[in-house]
Chain A
Amino acid sequence: MSGAVADVRDVLGIDATALEPRQPPLKKQRTVEKRPDGITRELYALLGENAPPVAVVEHRFKDKPKFVGPVAPWREQRFRNPARADALELRHWVRQNPGQQQQQQPAPDDAMDTDAADAAVAPPADPPQLDYQFAKFNIKMTILQYTDAEYDAVLRDDDWSRAETDYLFKLIQEHDLRWVIIADRYEFPGGSKDRSMEDMKARYYSVCRNVMEMRTPVSMMSAEESQLYHAMHYNKEQEVERKRIVQMQLYRTPAEIEHEQHLIAELRRIHDSHQQLLEEREELFNRLDYPQSTGSIAAYQGSQGLATLATTIMNSDKNKKRKSIAAPSGQPEKDDVKPVATAASPTAPSRAGSIIEPARGGGHGHQRTESTASATGPTPLKDKNKSNIKQLSKAEETTYNVSHHDKLQPGVFFRTMKMNLPKANSFMTKSPAVMAELGIALNLTMPTAKTCGKYEQLAKEIAALMELRKQIEKVDQETRVFKAQEGMAESRAKRSASVLSDVSRSSKRPKKEK
């Protein structure tokens, strides 16, 4: 077949080598690469570009491993373990390097072998392997050792004899400071006392501390040593008490556990509401916090200083004006306080005052700032255009009831409808009572621009007052809670003492039954 193809090529005069780097195999390979395991080619072709939504894993045997080079032989070799004190030789299987293969031919002489039984089966006589990879795991802790002189000098104890102390240290060395096991294995021959783990620990640590202190006085110790020295401090009473509590905790009855869970839930609730309370209080403080002027007024004492001050005020006024126009008319306060606080200039008081000031000339709430500005600030552009007509003085304006507007709302409406009253729910419900107290009708009988303004101011003050009252109540409540907590802490201490005795009684009960 391939011969025929070659002939055809030959006839057609196509160079066989030119055709060699063919594309199709490459393409095929790419698809093979992309195709995940376990999907047949046909199925994969149906899937098209999209990857399958789930990975299909076909269960099949592992591929036959491909070995490269000759198989490395394994042979049974004798070895000694340096971690052992004796000369025990065991045999294990080691992988041989191909180079070593030659020398492993059995040699007849067997002088090294100590065990006759071994000799019969172990043909190789090469010397046993002396290092052993697992020997390094043979690690012992170093436990402090004391000398006779040291013992006589600082370690005497009425409760512990020398022999018993030695026994304890031997046991500690043997069991690498694992106290549970040490306490379990402690059987000092002739020891009349029943030693608890705490007794042993107290003795061990006191011995260590004393010896350390004797070798190097505390003041001379290196940082490391003194850290160790202080870490060795052992408070036996505290440990005994701790264990007692741990034990108690383990033997709680279901009722106690339920009670405890209930208490935890309660605590969490209190904690959460406390957090909320703190947040609210902080917010209030922020609100009440008057921006304090920090700079000294010395700079403004000269006439030049005053002039700069005037321009600053004017500029900041302008800023404010733009802001309040841009801001939704409902909440001027929040927007205004911030820039004032950052500016921290002496103008702040007057500005803050202006917030609650009603519009002087303006008849409508939302244009109030504009009219205020027109009174104090430079004349607005619009006014300049009209200046050739007639400039009315302030008094004249009031008499003729002239007002300036940026833009009039089309249509007819009641002025009272446009009044800017606090929207809080509590205000709606509580303000009538306050109004009644002050003897002011809820509905204005004569809603002129002036009365409306005053009414708005009054409403705002009432709202502020109510807010203050609420906060005071909250703070009061909090102080009461704290006081109560103090009281409770005392009574709880008493109560838990009684519970403890209860528990210890109940945990003793089963023992009696035995």
Chain B
Amino acid sequence: MEAISALVLDPGTNTTRCGFAGEDTPKTCVPTYYGIVPDPETPKYFGSLKIGENAVSSVIDGMEIRNPMNDGIGTSQLVHISWAGLENWEVTTEIWRHCIEYKLSSRVEEHPLLVTEPIWNPLKNRERTTEIVFEDFNVPAYFLVKSAVCESFANSKPSSLVIDVGHANTSVTPVVDGIPLRKGRIHLLQSRVSYRPFSHNLYTGSERTPLAGLHLTTQLRHQFSEMGIRMTPWLMLKSKTTYTDLTNPPQLRLRDYGFQPHQSFIEYQQDRFIHEFKESMSETWAEPRSFPADINNPGDMLRPMAEKSYEFPDGYQRRFMLDRCVATESLFNPSLSPKPFTGDTPKGIAEMIKDSVDHLDADIRANMLSNIVVVGATSLLYRFNERLSQDLVAMFPGPRVKLQSSGQTPERKYSAWLGGSILASCGAFHQLWISKQEYDEIGSNIIERRAK
């Protein structure tokens, strides 16, 4: 280990993580979602930005919640509303600056900076990132690493099949000797699934689908509204009375802010309790029998599903049984989604892995299958790995299929950051940094030459 006090930044779609290289967890974890309040005084962003956990959750008149990224770092596709042009680059810059300067209280120009990027990050974005880092942040040295590589390293494997089940995307990336494979990469914008603004790309070597945390949130939200549950977030309620009868709900007692918060803000607040539901209630179906198509009439199950009770913010208490598995089942079996896809139905996670493996060289397939690394916070779903392993073994009965996944929650959540931290504190890595001098000589295209 060789500490040069480098900073490691892992911009995820849900949160952006930042900390010092050589440590085992990021120092700070800031939502990638941000708020924007229309303000004629600050025309730069068409409003003033609200960045950070507290800012995003404060009730401000007219504040809209947005997310600057979906496809890689800062492309023009947004999660909640469409958002065009360059501004989201500016926002990304602001979020990064917020992490480093406000949360870490460090001067960004003093530290080499390592940033992680998804495998499908297009060249345009990579060059833009390079520009931001050298022009705006003025860092002495910088490097861009594929998050899949970091995740593989964080699980102490130079070669592995990395399955990252994150927030907006689930990706499958074969990594060989620390280099991600990308053969036959078809640009993601060419084929699209018209379910939200995501695109289902057709990488041959590495695969990704939107079947991840956000998809789960959407499915759960749909499931709740089908049940007729009022999804009023905590922030909007003054007090609650518990009840179990949906047909006759008590009057909601709402907090009076004097204005109606923006719809995107309410949705973001709903996401918070849906997230809690995911953590505490959701379960992945991992029985030998396939998931019953009709959950009200499941037939005889080998293991009766435990009943769990959940209280929604407005006080409604409900017992959940098999319906805890419905949304998660759609990760593996998208055709069973409560909210159907409007376009092509993407492939389930296990199928996606099979596709990826099918494109690998025959000699490394067995090795990859016995070195599957599962990361990303959505993989923390109860019994998720069990189910994945079960599906994969059914798909590949011959070779040995072995999933490796850290039992530690932070390691699973922050594995991309952790891998970056390992890399940037590794003595032999220091020859790879792109220096300011090199950037000045070659320009932003240096990234394509140096960090392939």
Which A positions have Cβ atoms within 8 angstroms of B? 81, 83-84, 86-93, 114-115, 117-118, 121, 132-135, 137-138, 175, 178-181, 183-185, 197, 243-244, 246-247, 249-254, 257, 510-511, 514
> Within the complex, what minimum Cβ distance (angstroms) separates B337 from chain A?
20
Is B343 an interface position by the 8 A CB rule? no
Is B436 an interface position by the 8 A CB rule? yes
Is B361 an interface position by the 8 A CB rule? yes
Contact partner of B183 (CB less than 8 A), chosen from A132, A184, A243, is A184
> Within the complex, what minimum Cβ distance (angstroms) separates A480 from chain B?
35
Residues of A within 8 A of B4 (CB): 90-92
Write the chain B residue with the least CB distance to A118. B140
Q: Is the CB of B140 within 8 A of A88?
A: yes
Residues of A within 8 A of B428 (CB): 134, 137-138
Query: With contacts A88-B141, A92-B3 known, what are 18 further pairs, Cβ within 8 A?
Result: A84-B431, A86-B435, A90-B4, A90-B433, A92-B4, A93-B3, A115-B436, A117-B140, A138-B431, A179-B361, A180-B181, A184-B181, A184-B183, A184-B205, A185-B452, A243-B362, A246-B362, A252-B398
Q: Is the CB of A243 within 8 A of B363?
A: yes
Is B287 an interface position by the 8 A CB rule? no
Residues of B within 8 A of A183 (CB): 183, 361
Write the chain A residue with the least CB distance to B364. A180
Q: Is the CB of A81 within 8 A of B181?
A: no
Count how many chain B residues have C-beta atoms less than 8 Å from C-beta atoms of the other chain: 40
Residues of A within 8 A of B109 (CB): 117
Quick one: CB contact mask for B408-452 with A, threshold 8 Å, 1 for yes? 000000000000000000011011010111100000000000001
The verdict on A249 contacting B398 (CB below 8 Å), with A86-B438, A87-B437 known, is: yes
Residues of B within 8 A of A246 (CB): 362-363, 365
Residues of A within 8 A of B68 (CB): none
> Within the complex, what minimum Cβ distance (angstroms) separates A292 from chain B?
56
Residues of B within 8 A of A132 (CB): 427, 430
Q: Across the A-B interface, give the 7 residue pairs with the lowest CB-CB distance, nearest first.
A: A134-B427, A88-B435, A83-B431, A247-B362, A137-B428, A252-B398, A184-B183
The verdict on A257 contacting B398 (CB below 8 Å), with A90-B112, A246-B362 known, is: yes
Write the chain A residue with the least CB distance to B359. A184
Residues of A within 8 A of B431 (CB): 81, 83-84, 134-135, 138
A sample of 29 inter-chain contacts (CB < 8 A) reads A86-B435, A88-B435, A88-B437, A88-B438, A92-B4, A114-B437, A117-B138, A117-B140, A121-B110, A132-B427, A134-B2, A134-B428, A134-B430, A134-B431, A135-B431, A179-B361, A180-B363, A181-B176, A181-B179, A184-B181, A185-B183, A197-B361, A247-B365, A250-B396, A251-B396, A252-B397, A254-B397, A257-B397, A510-B358
Q: How far is the CA of A90 from the CA of B181 in the complex (A)?
A: 31
> Within the complex, what minimum Cβ distance (angstroms) separates B377 from chain A?
29
Write the chain A residue with the least CB distance to B426. A134
Q: How far is the CA of A181 from the CA of B183 in the complex (A)?
A: 9
Residues of B within 8 A of A181 (CB): 176-177, 179, 181
Residues of A within 8 A of B363 (CB): 180, 243, 246
> Within the complex, what minimum Cβ distance (angstroms) separates A240 from chain B?
10
Write the chain B residue with the least CB distance to A76. B5
Residues of A within 8 A of B193 (CB): none
> Within the complex, what minimum Cβ distance (angstroms) separates A194 from chain B?
10
Residues of A within 8 A of B110 (CB): 117, 121
Residues of B within 8 A of A254 (CB): 397
Is B340 an interface position by the 8 A CB rule? no
Q: Is the CB of B177 within 8 A of A250?
A: no
Residues of A within 8 A of B355 (CB): 514
Is B399 an interface position by the 8 A CB rule? yes
Is B103 an interface position by the 8 A CB rule? no
> Within the complex, what minimum Cβ distance (angstroms) separates A184 from chain B?
4
> Within the complex, what minimum Cβ distance (angstroms) separates A417 from chain B?
67
Q: How far is the CA of A253 from the CA of B397 in the complex (A)?
A: 7
Residues of A within 8 A of B183 (CB): 183-185
> Within the complex, what minimum Cβ distance (angstroms) separates B163 from chain A?
19
Residues of B within 8 A of A135 (CB): 431
> Within the complex, what minimum Cβ distance (angstroms) separates B193 from chain A?
15
> Within the complex, what minimum Cβ distance (angstroms) separates A205 from chain B?
17
Q: How far is the CA of A489 from the CA of B147 in the complex (A)?
A: 52
Is B366 an interface position by the 8 A CB rule? yes
Q: Is the CB of B364 within 8 A of A251?
A: no
Write the chain B residue with the least CB distance to A136. B428
Quick one: CB contact mask for B123-134 with A, threshold 8 Å, 1 for yes? 000000000000
Residues of B within 8 A of A83 (CB): 431
> Within the complex, what minimum Cβ distance (angstroms) separates A287 from chain B?
49
Q: How far is the CA of A184 from the CA of B159 in the complex (A)?
A: 15
Q: Is the CB of A250 within 8 A of B398?
A: yes
Is B182 an interface position by the 8 A CB rule? yes
Write the chain B residue with the least CB distance to A121. B110
Residues of A within 8 A of B364 (CB): 180
> Within the complex, what minimum Cβ distance (angstroms) separates A180 from chain B?
5
Q: Is the CB of A90 within 8 A of B398?
A: no
Residues of B within 8 A of A114 (CB): 437
Write the chain A residue with the least CB distance to B430. A81
Q: How far is the CA of A21 from the CA of B430 in the complex (A)?
A: 61
Residues of A within 8 A of B433 (CB): 88, 90
Contact partner of A184 (CB less than 8 A), chosen from B3, B140, B182, B399, is B182
Quick one: CB contact mask for B388-415 with A, threshold 8 Å, 1 for yes? 0000000011110000000000000000
> Within the complex, what minimum Cβ distance (angstroms) separates B296 from chain A?
31
Q: How far is the CA of A133 from the CA of B427 in the complex (A)?
A: 8
Q: How far is the CA of A175 from the CA of B436 in the complex (A)?
A: 25
Residues of B within 8 A of A510 (CB): 354, 358
